[in-house]
Amino acid sequence: MPYLSLQDGVRLFYKDWGNPTGQPVFFSHGWPLNSDNWETQMNFLGNQGYRVIAHDRRGHGRSDQPWHGNNVDTWADDIAQLFSHLDLTDVTLVGHSTGGGDLVRFAANSKAQSKTSWVKKLVLVSAVTPGLLRADWNPNGVPIEGLNQQRALLLKDRAQFFYDVPEGPFFGFNRPNATVSKGLIQSWFNQGMQASIKSTFDTIAAWETDFRPDLRSLDIPVLVIHGDDDQIVPFGVGNQTVGFLKNGRFKVYEGGPHALPNIRADEVNNDLLAFLKET
């Protein structure tokens, strides 16, 4: 399995699939998951001739579990080191939930550091941008009490919490007439428990990040996708993102839950392919 040893000694696991000379697409996963949660999209685009790459964020999946560095700036720097290692250019970035946040920071940093050849386009799926925390400018965000409750539940009984989330709001399985997949629930639990408790706890603080300056700095094409029944990142948060972009568009998935790459996989796959084919 491929690993990259980062500058601070952390080993980062990544997948590099599909056509090695194809147009590259890089995926960043949500909390508390890993690159396996993108396997449907990676398999689809890989079979379409694209080079598809995804990593396990530090502290998650098969990557090392350091005590420090579980924050947006370090995650963005880890991605930059991986891009340098793989000599990537003209990449379309695709981020889900927390992964949308670290990719927005990475894209903004890349532009600020004059590495504009790295990033061609960006797709944000159910992302935590422009900010998850409730504020005067973000009245539909999650109150700090809600984030603190998640911290408490994680520390009290992480295993039970990591069943409650996928059995309920993450996939929308708590909605009437929902078709429940026990396999998706178990997969979410397995991926979550593979991450360290420290990284999963620290990530909650990262959700308090204000990504508005990062978004404003971007001039690349950005596709923002959000479900209007997202119980994790409220629709009233996600639908603001495009307003801070110079070259963004917004697509609503009616009735869509937070887990669009899983629950609405075919639609996400087709939207990604169409966006990739645009010149």
Segment 126-182, tens digit of pLDDT: 999 999 999 999 999 999 999 999 999 999 999 999 999 999 999 999 999 999 999
Beta-carbon contacts of 1 under 8 Å, excluding residues fewer than 6 positions away, are 13, 62
For 25-79, what is each residue's pLDDT tens digit? Answer: 999 999 999 999 999 999 999 999 999 999 999 999 999 999 999 999 999 999 9
pLDDT value for 247: 98
> 189 pLDDT exceeds 70?
yes
**What pTM was computed for the model?**
0.98
Catalytic residue among 29, 55, 96, 258: 258
> 279 pLDDT exceeds 90?
no
Q: Mark whether 56 is an active-site residue.
A: no
Taken in order 259, 118, 84, 78, is the CA torsion positive or negative? negative
Q: Mark whether 258 is an active-site residue.
A: yes
CATH number at residue 23: 3.40.50.1820
First-to-final CA distance of the chain: 34
Q: Where are the alpha helices (DSSP H) in the chain?
A: 39-46, 72-86, 98-112, 144-167, 182-194, 197-206, 212-217, 235-238, 260-263, 265-277
pLDDT value for 1: 66
Catalytic residue among 36, 56, 230, 271: 230
The domain tally of the chain equals 1
Q: Which domain holds residue 260?
A: 3-277
Q: Where are the alpha helices (DSSP H) in 195-245?
A: 197-206, 212-217, 235-238
Q: Mark whether 97 is an active-site residue.
A: yes
For 13-29, what is each residue's pLDDT tens digit? Answer: 999 999 999 999 999 99
> 80 pLDDT exceeds 80?
yes
In 3D space, the residue among 42, 96, 141 whose CA is nearest the CA of residue 260 turns out to be 96
Mean pLDDT of the 249-260 span: 98
Catalytic residue among 97, 110, 196, 199: 97
* Number of C-beta neighbours around residue 117 at 10 A: 11
